[in-house]
């Protein structure tokens, strides 16, 4: 069945916003102008796979919190698409529970009453032509019923293997065509962006064929975190850091993304991906790019993406990968006072699996600023605690006028940006110990977001969804970044192919080989 598309109808007068509140300042949108948060124009948000974990735990609560803050436009609608025999009421009930359980701003019945009037549900499989025809007609009818003016964002909260199927359905029905209804059409693609360089290039090509390149938003939720964006403010809004942010003063950089959980219900995906594809290729390399990039000419999407692309293109793997690329797999152990099973004993994981749950690598950024400075990256599951941080380790002072015994406990100065869970910044430096002798010891100065500001930070998906509806691509990687990241990861995967990962006990900071990697360079991992 092929749907017919009637001509564009007149748009009814705008209705009052879902909630009238005073917008809060958002200094990270533009620090210099200190503009208030922008409210997008009338539009619909279509979520494919709306009954999945991501939609229930992150996307629906984010939509509710935006409504509660008064940041959804007059004429907003949310459409869920999933393979369930549901009506609008069934979906509204699921969405209500998801908003209640996951809201950051507190659940309010009056806000939900307004938001629930905007909710629609379309049942169907991804290869069901009739279901997609119904979805296309639903969006057309919402131009009259909700005043969305032909604007729609499509969120692919689905397995990566389904991306081509859904994209081709949108192409067939012309739902992705900006000119079809007189408004804009955008798509949000969740990571992973492919499985390797070739599949990443194929996916980029397909998405750009269906949507225009400027309307493709490749989402990496780490880039929506407050402290990740504050890294740019830290570097470029302060004169005390940027002069020493280079190889003349920096000894090394360590980026850690540690998780204390296992794979949960993701065995089907994780065992074909592993830690390098799942985390290093996207989250960790994006953090590296933001840390190493040059100052952009402006705080906008094109300028920031350009500088990140330069960094990713300058990354080189060390010649001796056998010494500087380590992968591991967790064994049974104790974590949080409980005994946990090994990776191969997790549900639906093959007993013979050689998939890594830990990866560590040393990278070089071959630019004038960073020549000679090693970047050590690591990520893993079942580590002692959940933490993500960027540690800039400075060189030791070239000369100390104190007695050697007075500085035995003095280490390297460090600037640590904590991305999660205790968002903030730590500066570690030497200070004299009170007393009659000149003993110098490391001390820390901490900045915590939760203590310094009265307003709470928006969740990453809350911020990024708003950016999609506005059309601000600043925090979204473009296809060149994705492909350059795969050019870093593919050689690692080829080197590791056919080998067995090192073992580490759950509750430890990775395998012994990872410690030996830094010891070979005369360094040690920072303990978060």
pLDDT 10s digits, 275-311 = 999 999 999 999 999 999 999 998 888 999 999 999 9
pLDDT of amino acid 228: 84
Q: Are 387 and 418 in contact (CB under 8 A)?
A: yes
By CB atoms closer than 10 A (0-12, 13-18, 19+), residue 283 is buried
Q: Which of 259, 258, 240 is closest to 249 using CA atoms? A: 240
What pLDDT does residue 409 have?
59
What confidence score (pLDDT) does residue 32 get? 38
Nearest to 439 by CA among 397, 396, 408: 408
Q: 515 in helix, strand or coil?
A: helix
Alpha carbon separation from 108 to 19, 56, 89, 358, 429 (Å, rounded)? 11, 18, 19, 42, 46
The stretch 204-228 carries a mean pLDDT of 88
pLDDT attached to residue 410: 62
Least confident of 126-130, 193-197, 249-253, 497-501: 193-197
Model pLDDT for residues 197-208, shown as the tens digit of each residue: 999 999 889 998
Q: When comparing pLDDT for 5 and 88, which is higher? A: 88
Is the confidence at residue 247, as pLDDT, over 60?
yes
- What integer pLDDT is reported at residue 438 of this predicted model? 67
**Torsion sign across C-alpha atoms 492, 498, 504, 506:** positive
Whole-number pLDDT of residue 406: 52
Q: What are phi and psi of 328, to 5 degrees?
A: -140, 170
- The answer to whether 485 and 312 have CB atoms below 8 angstroms apart is yes
Please determine, for residue 444, whether its predicted confidence score (pLDDT) is greater than 80. Answer: no
CA atoms within 13 A on the CB side of 425: 16
Q: Is 240 exposed, middle or buried (0-12, 13-18, 19+ CB in 10 A)?
A: exposed
Helices (H), ranges, 77-225: 88-102, 109-116, 129-145, 163-173, 178-181, 197-210
Average pLDDT over residues 141-162: 90
C-alpha 172, offset from chain centre? 31
Q: Rounded to an integer, what distance in angstroms lies between the CA atom of residue 36 and that of residue 33?
A: 9
pLDDT at 251: 95
Query: CB under 8 Å, gap of 24 or more: what pairs does 20-26 form?
Result: 20/70, 21/68, 21/69, 21/70, 22/70, 23/69, 23/70, 23/71, 24/69, 24/455
* Region 380-393 average pLDDT: 96
Residue 176 in tokens: 């992705």
Q: Is the peptide bond prior to 192 cis by the omega test (within 30 degrees of 0)?
A: yes
Quote the CA–CA distance of 517 and 508 in Å, as a whole number. Answer: 16
Q: What percent helix, strand, coil does the chain show, rounded to 5?
A: 40, 20, 40
What is the pLDDT, as a whole number, of residue 222? 82
403: left (phi over 0), alpha (psi -120 to 50) or beta: beta
Distance (Å, whole) CA 111 – CA 100: 12
Q: Do residues 132 and 173 make contact, with C-beta atoms less than 8 angstroms apart?
A: yes
Greater pLDDT, 16 or 91? 91
Domains of the chain: 43-190 (3.40.50.720), 224-396+478-519 (3.30.360.10)
Q: Is the pLDDT of residue 10 over 60?
A: no
Name which of 20, 95, 21 is nearest 59 in CA terms: 95
Residue 15 has pLDDT above 70, yes or no: no
Measured distance CA(252)–CA(370) in Å, rounded:
9
- Categorize the per-residue pLDDT at 370 as very low, low, confident or very high, splitting at 50, 70 and 90: very high
Give yes or no for residue 108 having a pLDDT over 70.
Answer: yes
Tell me the mean pLDDT in the region 62-75. Answer: 92
pLDDT confidence band for 159 (50 / 70 / 90):
confident
Greatest CA span in the chain, whole angstroms?
89
Q: Is pLDDT above 80 for 19?
A: no
Measured between alpha carbons, how far is 200 from 196 in angstroms, rounded to an integer? 6
- Average confidence score pLDDT of the chain: 86
pLDDT for res 319: 92
DSSP state of 471: T
- What pLDDT was estimated at residue 401? 60
Extract the tokens encoding 232: 């740019």
pLDDT at 33: 40
For position 402, what pLDDT does the model report? Answer: 53
Q: Give pLDDT, residue 9.
A: 42
Backbone φ and ψ for 345, nearest 5 degrees, come out as -100, 0
- 439: pLDDT strictly greater than 90: no
The DSSP bridge partners found for residue 154 are: 46, 187
Copy the structure tokens of residue 12: 């009814």
Checking if the pLDDT of 393 tops 70, the result is yes
State mean pLDDT over 394-418: 71
Tokens of 432: 């004299």
- Mapped onto helix, strand or coil, the DSSP state of residue 451 is helix
Residue indicated by tokens 């359980």: 101
Give the length of the chain.
528
User: Which position has the higher pLDDT, 167 or 453?
Assistant: 167
Give the active site residues. 283
C-alpha dihedral (398, 404, 409, 411), degrees to nearest 10? 10
Predicted confidence band of residue 407 (pLDDT cuts 50, 70, 90) = low
Q: Is 388 exposed, middle or buried (0-12, 13-18, 19+ CB in 10 A)?
A: buried
Q: How confident is the model at residue 225 (pLDDT cuts 50, 70, 90)?
A: confident
Residue 378 is predicted with a pLDDT of: 98
Least confident span in 92-96, 132-136, 161-165, 222-226: 222-226
Tokens of 19: 């909630």
Backbone Cα Rg of the chain = 25
Report the C-alpha gap between 204 and 154 in whole angstroms.
16
Cα atoms in the Cβ-side hemisphere of radius 13 Å centred on 447: 14
Give residue 169's pLDDT band: very low, low, confident or very high (50, 70, 90): very high
3-state secondary structure of 65: helix
pLDDT tens by residue, 337-364: 899 999 999 999 999 999 999 999 999 9
Lowest mean pLDDT among 260-264, 393-397, 485-489: 393-397
């Amino acid at each position: 069945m092929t749907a017919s598309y009637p001509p564009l109808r007149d748009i009814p007068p705008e209705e009052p916003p879902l909630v009238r509140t005073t917008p809060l300042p958002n200094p990270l949108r533009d620090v210099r102008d200190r503009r208030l948060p922008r409210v997008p124009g009338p539009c619909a948000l279509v979520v494919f796979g709306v009954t999945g974990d991501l939609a229930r735990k992150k996307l629906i609560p984010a939509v509710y919190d935006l409504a509660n803050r008064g940041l959804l436009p007059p004429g907003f609608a949310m459409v869920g698409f999933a393979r369930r025999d549901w009506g609008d009421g069934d979906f509204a009930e699921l969405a209500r529970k998801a908003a209640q359980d996951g809201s950051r701003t507190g659940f309010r019945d009056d806000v939900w009453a307004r938001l629930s009037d905007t909710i629609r549900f379309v049942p169907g499989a991804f290869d069901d032509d009739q279901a997609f025809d119904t979805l296309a007609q639903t969006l057309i009818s919402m131009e009259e019923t909700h005043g969305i003016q032909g604007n729609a964002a499509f969120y692919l909260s689905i397995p990566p293997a389904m991306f081509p199927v859904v994209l081709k359905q949108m192409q067939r029905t012309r739902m992705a065509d900006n000119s079809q209804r007189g408004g804009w059409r955008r798509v949000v693609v969740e990571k992973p962006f492919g499985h390797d360089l070739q599949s990443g290039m194929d996916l980029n090509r397909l998405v750009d064929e269906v949507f225009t390149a400027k309307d493709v938003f490749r989402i990496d939720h780490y880039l929506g975190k407050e402290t990740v964006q504050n890294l740019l403010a830290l570097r470029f809004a302060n004169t005390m850091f940027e002069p020493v942010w280079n190889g003349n003063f920096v000894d090394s950089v360590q980026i850690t993304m540690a998780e204390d959980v296992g794979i949960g219900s993701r065995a089907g995906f994780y065992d074909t991906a592993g830690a390098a594809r799942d985390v290093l290729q996207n989250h960790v390399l994006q953090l590296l790019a933001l840390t190493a990039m040059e100052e952009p000419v402006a705080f906008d999407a094109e300028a920031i993406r350009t500088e990140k692309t330069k960094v990713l293109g300058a990354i080189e793997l060390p010649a001796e990968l056998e010494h500087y690329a380590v992968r591991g797999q967790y064994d049974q152990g104790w974590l949080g006072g409980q005994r946990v099973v090994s990776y191969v004993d997790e549900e639906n994981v093959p007993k013979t699996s050689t998939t890594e749950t830990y990866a560590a690598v040393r990278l070089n950024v071959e630019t004038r600023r960073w020549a000679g400075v090693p970047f050590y990256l690591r990520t893993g599951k079942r580590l002692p605690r959940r933490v993500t941080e960027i540690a800039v380790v400075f060189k030791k002072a070239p000369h100390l006028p104190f007695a050697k015994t007075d500085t035995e406990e003095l280490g390297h100065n460090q600037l640590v940006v904590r991305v999660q869970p205790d968002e903030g910044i730590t500066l570690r430096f030497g200070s004299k110990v009170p007393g009659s002798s000149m003993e110098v010891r490391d001390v820390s100065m901490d900045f915590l977001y939760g203590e310094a500001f009265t307003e709470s930070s928006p969740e990453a998906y809350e911020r990024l969804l708003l950016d999609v509806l506005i059309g601000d691509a600043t925090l979204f990687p473009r296809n060149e970044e994705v492909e350059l990241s795969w050019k870093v990861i593919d050689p690692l995967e080829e080197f590791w192919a056919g080998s067995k990962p090192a073992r580490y006990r759950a509750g430890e900071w990775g395998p012994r080989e990872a410690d030996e990697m830094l010891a070979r360079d005369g360094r040690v991992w920072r303990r978060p």
